[in-house]
Structure 1
Amino acid sequence: MQHDQYKYISRCDGLELDVLEIQPLSQPKGIVQFLHGMAENKERYIETMEFFARNGYITIIHDHRGHGKSIRDLADQGYFYDDTGKFILYDAHDITRMIKAKYPGLAIYLFGHSMGALIGQNYLKNYDNEVQKLILSGMPGNNPLCSAAIGLVTILEKIKGSYHRSKLIQNLSVGTYDKKFKGENKNCWLSANPENVNLYNADINCGFNFTLNGFKNLFLLMKNAYSDTDWVKTNLNLPILYLAGENDPVIMTKEDWRRAQLFLNKIGYTYVKGKMYHHMRHEILHEARKDVVMQDILSFIEK
Structure 2
Amino acid sequence: MCPNTFKITVEDGTNLEVKLDKANKERIGIVHIFHGMAEHMGRYDLFVESLNQQGYDVIRHNHRGHGKDIIERERGHYDSMQIVAADAYEILQTLYPERDGLPYIVLGHSMGSIIARKYVEMYPDTAQGLILTGTGLFPKVKGNLMVIGMKLISLILGKRRRLRWVNNLAFKPFNKRIPDAKTESDWLSTKKDEVNKYCEDPYCGFLMSNQAIYETIHEMMVTSRPSEIKKMNPDLPVLLISGKEDPFGDYSKGIRRLGVTMKRNGVQHITVQLYRNKRHEILFEEDHLQTWNNMYDWIKKNILKKNKVSEHNDNE
The one-character-per-residue Cα deviations of 1:141-175 (angstroms, maximum 9, x if unpaired) are 23433333333333333433222223343223211
Q: Which residue, out of 111, 117, 121, partners 1:115?
A: 111
Contact 2:159 / 2:209 at 8 angstroms: preserved in 1? yes
Aligned to 1:298: 296
Contact 1:142 / 1:260 at 8 angstroms: preserved in 2? no
What is the one-letter code of the residue matched to 1:64? H
Contact 2:106 / 2:127 at 8 angstroms: preserved in 1? yes
Q: What does 1:25-36 correspond to in 2, within 5 Å?
A: 25-36=24-35
The root-mean-square deviation of aligned C-alpha atoms, in Å, is: 1.9
Aligned to 1:37: 36
Contact 1:9 / 1:15 at 8 angstroms: preserved in 2? yes
Aligned to 1:194: 192
Over 3 Å counting, the alpha-carbon distance change for 1:240 and 1:157 in structure 2 is closer
Higher mean C-alpha displacement, 226-235 vs 198-207 = 226-235
What is the one-letter code of the residue matched to 2:45? I
CA distance in 2, matches of 1:42, 1:131: 20
- Segments of 5+ residues of structure 1 without an aligned counterpart are none
Contact 1:28 / 1:56 at 8 angstroms: preserved in 2? yes
CA distance in 2, matches of 1:103, 1:128: 16
- Segments of 5+ residues of structure 2 without an aligned counterpart are 302-316
Matched, 1:95 2:94: no
CA distance in 2, matches of 1:234, 1:77: 31
The number of aligned residues is 298
CA distance in 1, matches of 2:256, 2:93: 31
What is the one-letter code of the residue matched to 1:86? Q
Matched, 1:155 2:116: no
CA distance in 2, matches of 1:289, 1:140: 22
> What's the offset of the Cα at 1:105?
2.9
The one-character-per-residue Cα deviations of 1:283-303 (angstroms, maximum 9, x if unpaired) are 011112110111111111122
Residue 128 of structure 1 aligns to a residue whose secondary structure is: coil
Over 3 Å counting, the alpha-carbon distance change for 1:230 and 1:239 in structure 2 is closer
- TM-score for the superposition, normalised by structure 1: 0.92
- TM-score for the superposition, normalised by structure 2: 0.88
Q: What does 1:191-230 correspond to in 2, within 5 Å?
A: 191-230=189-228
> What's the offset of the Cα at 1:232?
5.5
CA distance in 2, matches of 1:214, 1:183: 30
Q: What does 1:256-271 correspond to in 2, within 5 Å?
A: 256-271=254-269
Over 3 Å counting, the alpha-carbon distance change for 1:217 and 1:255 in structure 2 is closer
Contact 1:3 / 1:21 at 8 angstroms: preserved in 2? no
> What's the offset of the Cα at 1:95?
2.3
The one-character-per-residue Cα deviations of 1:106-125 (angstroms, maximum 9, x if unpaired) are 21111111111111111222
CA distance in 1, matches of 2:159, 2:224: 25
Percentage of pairs with the same residue: 28
Higher mean C-alpha displacement, 213-222 vs 183-192 = 213-222
The one-character-per-residue Cα deviations of 1:158-201 (angstroms, maximum 9, x if unpaired) are 43322222334322321111121122221110000001000000
Over 3 Å counting, the alpha-carbon distance change for 1:234 and 1:167 in structure 2 is closer
Higher mean C-alpha displacement, 179-188 vs 160-169 = 160-169
Contact 2:163 / 2:209 at 8 angstroms: preserved in 1? yes
